[in-house]
Structure 1
Amino acid sequence: MPHKRRATSKRVFINNIDSYSSRNIAKHPRKEELLSNLMECQVIIYNISQDADQVEEASWAVKALHDQKEHFTSLKIFILISTVMTWAASIPLDPEDPELPFTDEIFYCRRAHPNFKKHIDLEKIVVKAGKSVKIFSTYVVASGLQYGMGEGIFHFFFKESWLGEASEISIYGHGKNIIPTIHVTDLASVVQNVIEYQPRPYYLLAVDLSHNTLEQLVKVIATALGPAKTVNRPFEDIYLNQELTVMEIDSLQVNLRMEAVNVENLLSVYWHCEGGLVENVDLVVEEYRLSRGLLPLRVCLLGPPAVGKTTLSLQICKHYKLHHITVRDTIYKAMAELVSIVKNPDPDAEEVAAEAQELLNSLNESIDSEGSKEQLKMLRDKMTSNQCKNQGYVLDAFPSTYKQAEDLFEGKKDVLPPHFVLVLDATDSFLTDRVINLPEETVQDLGYEPEKFLSRLAIYRDNTQEEKSVLNYFEELDISPVLLGNMMEDNFLCRDIFTTLGPPRTYSPSPQEVEEENRRIAEERMKKEAEERAVEERKEEEETRSRAARWEEWTQRSEASRMLEELHLDILTKQMRSYLMKNVMPTLGKGLIECCRIQPAEPLDFLVLLEAH
């Protein structure tokens, strides 16, 4: 029977508070104040279950407190949260009965995994420190592999399944090893009970009642979140996984069947997941989504034909990592899968092939009937797939009527309505002009031939004017449609939509993804800069060639002008010479002769007077 509960409040110290395990233990309803000064705390908790770097500090702490025991003014409790890996190399109790579990009553027989020698050494130090001192109680809580509230060691499998990027989730090794586990909330409850009841003995196993294998754990996670398919790979492949630490890899190899006898007999633990992860997978998955903010985003995008719904849908899907759903793509994909089943039937499952053929015939008959029973079933299957339940979707151009919306969502618990309904719109003239300017191949692919397009546009306008339109249906569900402008005319439409929908609800990029994205951006920037430089160089070359051509043209023109000018001057010179020789030189010659003969004082004046006479 449990000891009498001691209700006095205590100051608690918890190491490494930012880690997954310690953070969740600290969130337990007690919410006692965490202090950094060990001597001022009545309870000191050191968690080394997930961080080997804390072993040395925990060893120092328990020794330092033991040395200061004379200065204690009240009872101090030191709790070491260790790991079942200190049992990993233990010899079976009965070789003939492999299912006989290890219990905390025989903790002195445990043997540690080679990489957890420091952990078991610390466990022995902690147990010994509290044996001879009444005012200093020490406990070791050997925790199973922890799960829940966002996940710790199993997070890789949850993330890989949630992302849905792999068609199969890996099980490393044969997967038959039994893994002792405990929900992190139950671990916190065990620790709280130790503080309040202060039981004897001082060593407790903290594991749930499950004896699940690694294969069972991975399969149930893959089924609840991902593709439901698993594949066994050599255990050595796990070392290629950069998301798992060496400590986590070692822990996933543990093979122990264990029972927490002391916890069951001495404490009053209110179990959150006593049956383990497999038995409580739906609860654990919901905690995982909520703890990490991985909530789906469901969007419905409506509008007239050719307004740009698909282009905008794909941009939203890219930004939020959502799944794009259209009636046509969903039906064609489903038909392709059915054709594959029919053409390659399983000899042991003839009924499946027959059902596939029947459904394929029904889809073929209803291919042109939008909103048929068969089409709605395919849409529901897509919308309730694990991928859409994980990330969410953008439902493109459907439903278009009140009845289609009612048939799709009404009375279907799994088919949840969208969070946001976005409505694009544009004038009929704008839409018509846009279709006219589309390539002929696109027009035929989308069914935008003149008569068909105008008919579809008219039907859309009529549906929106109905007394009960599709928008009325969503308004009745308190989903107010967000009326948008024309995507082709509003450059800031995407920005406004992203503001309306809020931030992405998905994983932030990993360091490797960030590095790859930065590399991609850098490469694109370098490519763009190179292209810009090439354009500038071409411009400069063209300018140089143009300048050279202009210079050549100017030079040629200048040369021609010069030659004409020289010819003109030559003609004038000849005319002037002829004039001088005929009219000036005879008179001038006579004057110069007279000037030489008389030698006047002013020759020029003499020549002038001579010319005058």
Structure 2
Amino acid sequence: ERSGASMAQPETTRVFLNNVDSYASRHIAQVTFEACTDSVKAAALISDVEAELVSNHKRTFQVVGTVSHPSAVERPHRLDRDELLSKLMGCDVVIYNVTQHADQVEEALWAASALHSEVEHFSGPKMFILISTIMTWACSKPADPDDLELPFTDAIFWSRRAHPNFERHIDLEKRVVKMGKTVSLQLFSTYVVAAGLQYGMGEQIFHYFFKKSWLGEDGPVFGDGENIVPTIHIHDLASVVCSVIQHQPRPYYLLAVDDSNNTMEEIVKKIASVLGPGKIQKKPSEDAFLTKDLTDSLLVSLRMEAAYIKKLFSFNWVCQFGLVENIEVVVQEYRQSRGLLPVRLCVLGPPAVGKTTVSKKICEYYRLHHVTVKGTVSDTIARLVSSLLSPPNQSELSTLNRNMNPAGLEEELLLNVMRDELMTHPCKNQGYVLEDFPQTREQAKELFDGKEEDLSCVATEFVLCLEATEAFLLDRVLNLPESRVQEHNCEPENFSRRLAAYNEKQSEDDVVLNYFYEHDIIPLQFGNPNAEADCLPLMQKVIDMVGQPRNYGPSSQEVKEEERRKAGERLRREAQERAEVEQMEADEARARAARWAEWTKKLEQVRQQEEEELEATSRPMRGYLMEQVVPTLSQGLTACCRAQPQDPVDFLAEYLLKNNPFEA
């Protein structure tokens, strides 16, 4: 047992927190900075557990720390050990959170050991708080084998057994606790806060399930889902840390969990019912290890109770009874923290102005759901027909059929169908583009103001009103393809009737735009939109009005498909470039061969001409030689061959001199 001696606090308390840019540490730092400046009153002390309260009404807190990503700050994100120790020595409270990053276990042990060895150089008292994980209890034996529902409490922390993957964590816990026992608490006190799985404020460990439900997919439950998962809202964990700083209780090991003790199936099912389609899908527990967003912690089964926190501290819990009981609050935090707010937009205008084309482009850019009267009614009837065996659906389908008339559904039933569509999870999560509805102020009031239910979560935020002259519309209808004419009911007689009905509604005082003006929604009006040719000017105005998309962006599968598409385009482009190069080289080769053939032909012609010229020039000389020289020379050569003299040249010369026919 340690004494309850209080630690004198300075006016400004410097708090160090590792990885302040991570999910848990960021929110702990924020709550510490905001909440710890006010005094937290301690509950009446009971049993043998005592806590000394420190009056800190005038205390201010300065939070400093390291970060895990270089982009979080301008300076280098990792300090060397000597520089980090000097920073720690300048702080009054050092908090190390190892629940999210296992690589911080070694650094936390070094930090606690370094501070412990420097106690004699402290300028004032210091506190070291280790935020650990309940996974150091994962393999603990039941507190009472005969009562398996008896929860583990921090009073029996000495009997805990860690999960094999968290042996380093439990060793760190033990060494931190031991350090606090070996020195005076007035100089250096240590605490271990074993936190349940954290949720809230955008999510971290449960984010996988929230995202699945938000995207409209079934919630995956790994194994039988009967494992009890200890949890705590991140804000409540931060409040526990603040209370430890302020009250410095005698117990040095505290469990930080809420009172829920929900099973994993209950948690996933609740998330799916509020945020998604409400369905879960059982999967083998082994599949959890194949998903990088999941950890061993989600398969733990521990029934726990934070006994000391309830006895020692009194703070305003955000979610004392857990995630399941406070799912609406947690879902709202999730949407706000991650910016996943729905975009709800109405596109109105006369027939054939291009509402469908513009609506599809907006849906594609913002990844919204395109809602039309025709599509919604058709889907509703198809859904009811496919489930005729259900008596409630038979009754609803009969009501639809009874209320159908040549012009469509009766207005009250149409409003109910459209309201139900806007209340679906896809429309509530991502948002919608509602095309060509409502058409009157009364319809808008009934649709968005509702009756008994609160429809503020689905009421439109933005209105785009397309405008065009009658001449523009007529010209556009005349130039539409026949398939589009039939699809959009734009035959000349039908179009004229629809346009006249629209103009009649617009001439009334109680037009639909008046409803939006009354609710401070200023419609964006755009005239003569040429959506088929160029939608960029209109889309730019829509983006200026609505802002950037509020979603996750493309999924990993879509990113891979886009990469494959780009790779395919690149390969096709490279193949086309190679084909063009090959074609160019082939053309050049053919041209070169043609030039060579032409040059060769001309060269041959020149050679033949030269030969002919030479032949013509040499013919008189050959005649002369044959007549005057060759006969005598041939005789001389014959004589030389017969005589075979030693000097044939001299013999031939003498023969020619003696037998020269011109000297006879």
Change beyond 3 A, Cα 1:445–1:6? farther
Q: CA deviation at 1:530?
A: 5.3
Q: Residue 465 of structure 1 corresponds to which residue in structure 2? A: 507
Aligned CA distance change for structure 1 residues 366 and 159 (closer, same or farther; 3 Å): farther
1:447 matches 2:489: yes
How far has the Cα of 1:30 moved from its partner?
A: 2.8
CA-to-aligned-CA distance 1:269-308 (integer Å, 9 cap, x gap): 3211100000000000001101111111100001111111
* Structure 1 residue 193: Cα displacement: 0.2
* Equivalent in the alignment of 2:478: 436
Q: Distance in 2 between matches of 1:132 and 1:171?
A: 46
Distance between the aligned counterparts of 1:381 and 1:367, measured in 2? 23
Q: Secondary structure at the match of 1:11?
A: strand
Q: Distance in 1 between matches of 2:587 and 2:541?
A: 43
- Structure 1 stretches of 4+ moved >4 Å: 2-8, 510-513, 528-545
Name the counterpart of 1:601: none
Task: Specify whether residues 5 and 409 from structure 1 end up closer, same or farther in structure 2 by C-alpha distance, changes over 3 A only.
Answer: farther
What corresponds to 1:501 in structure 2?
546
CA–CA distance in structure 2, aligned partners of residues 504 and 23 of structure 1: 25
Residue in 2 aligned with 1:340? 386
1:11-160 to structure 2, matched below 5 A, reads 11-28=14-31, 30-31=33-34, 32-36=61-65, 37-134=87-184, 135-160=187-212
Tell me which residue corresponds to 1:478.
520
CA 1:432–1:22 in 2, change beyond 3 Å: closer, same or farther? same
Aligned to 1:273: 319
Partner of 2:274: 224
How many angstroms apart in 1 are the aligned matches of 2:441 and 2:578? 56
Q: For the residues of structure 2 that align with 1:75 and 1:163, how far apart are their CA atoms?
A: 50
Equivalent residue number for residue 588 of structure 1: none
Of 245, 248, 251, 1:198 maps to 248
CA contact (8 A) 1:15 1:45 kept: yes
TM-superposed CA distance for 1:509, in Å, is 3.8
- The TM-score normalised by the length of structure 2 is 0.76
Q: 1:391 to 1:453 in 2, by over 3 A?
A: same
Tell me the residue number matched to 2:530. Answer: 487
Aligned residues between the structures? 535
Name the structure 2 match of 1:597: none
2:303 to 257, 264, 277: 257
Q: Which amino acid aligns with 2:472?
A: F
C-alpha contact 1:366 1:374 (8 A) present in aligned 2: no
Given that residues 3 and 266 in structure 1 are in contact (C-alpha distance below 8 angstroms), is that contact kept between their aligned partners in structure 2? Answer: no
Residue in structure 2 matched with residue 566 of structure 1 by the alignment: none
- Tell me which moved more, 522-531 or 308-317: 522-531
Distance 1:240 1:184, change over 3 A: same
Query: Given residue 260 of structure 1, which amino acid in structure 2 is its aligned partner?
Result: A
Counterpart residue identity of residue 525, structure 2: L
The residue matched to 1:212 in structure 2 has which SS? coil
Q: For the residues of structure 2 that align with 1:449 and 1:537, how far apart are their CA atoms?
A: 52
Partners in 2 of 1:5 and 1:453 — Cα distance? 83
Distance 1:542 1:300 in 2: 58
- How big is each residue's C-alpha offset from its partner over 1:149-202, in whole Å with a ceiling of 9 and x where there is no partner? 0011100000110111x2x22111100000000000000000000000000110
CA distance in 1, matches of 2:585, 2:478: 40
Change in Cα spacing, 1:448 to 1:544, as seen in structure 2 (3 Å) is: farther
**Partner of 2:94: helix, strand, or coil?**
strand
Q: Give the TM-score, by structure 1 length.
A: 0.82
Residues 437 and 444 of structure 1: CA distance in aligned 2, closer, same or farther (over 3 Å): same
Q: Distance in 2 between matches of 1:312 and 1:117?
A: 58
Q: Structure 2: 5+ residue runs without aligned partners?
A: 35-60, 66-86, 599-664
Write the distance in 2 (CA, Å) between the matches of 1:46 and 1:103.
Answer: 23
Cα displacement (A) at 1:362: 3.6
- 1:540 and 1:434 map into 2 onto residues whose CA distance is 48
Distance 1:206 1:262, change over 3 A: same
Instruction: Report percent identity of matched pairs.
Output: 54
Partner of 1:398: 437
Identify unmatched segments of 5+ residues in structure 1. Answer: 556-613
CA contact (8 A) 2:96 2:108 kept: yes
Evaluate the alpha carbon distance shift between residue 370 and residue 429 of structure 1 in structure 2; reply closer, same or farther with a 3 A threshold.
farther
Partners of 2:562 and 2:406 lie apart in 1 by 41
Residue of structure 1 in register with 2:374 after alignment: 328
Report the more deviating stretch, 279-288 or 513-522: 513-522
The alpha-carbon distance between structure 1 residues 186 and 385, as it changes in their structure 2 partners (threshold 3 A), is same
Whole-angstrom distance in 2 between the partners of 1:239 and 1:27: 33
Residues 11 and 40, structure 1, Cα contact 8 Å, conserved in 2:
yes
Partner Cα separation in structure 1 for residue 462 and residue 140 of structure 2: 56
Amino acid at match of 1:334: T
Task: Give the whole-Å Cα distance in 1 for the aligned partners of 2:501 and 2:583.
Answer: 53
The 2-side partners of 1:353 and 1:370 are apart by: 17
SS at match of 2:181: coil
1:385 matched to 2:428? The reply is: no
User: Aligned in 2, Cα 1:3/1:424: closer, same or farther, shift over 3 Å?
Assistant: farther
Could you say if the C-alpha distance between residues 540 and 491 of structure 1 is closer, same or farther in structure 2, counting changes exceeding 3 Å? Answer: farther
Give the distance between the partners of 1:3 and 1:260, measured in 2 at CA.
Answer: 24
Shift of 1:497: 1.8
CA contact (8 A) 1:312 1:487 kept: no
The verdict on how the C-alpha distance between 1:534 and 1:332 changes in structure 2, with shifts beyond 3 A counting, is farther
Q: CA deviation at 1:370?
A: 5.9
Q: Distance in 2 between matches of 1:367 and 1:243?
A: 53
Aligned partners of 1:353 and 1:461: how far apart in 2? 38
Q: 1:123 to 1:325 in 2, by over 3 A?
A: same
Distance in structure 2 (CA, Å) of the matches to 1:367 and 1:231: 43
Distance 1:451 1:502, change over 3 A: same
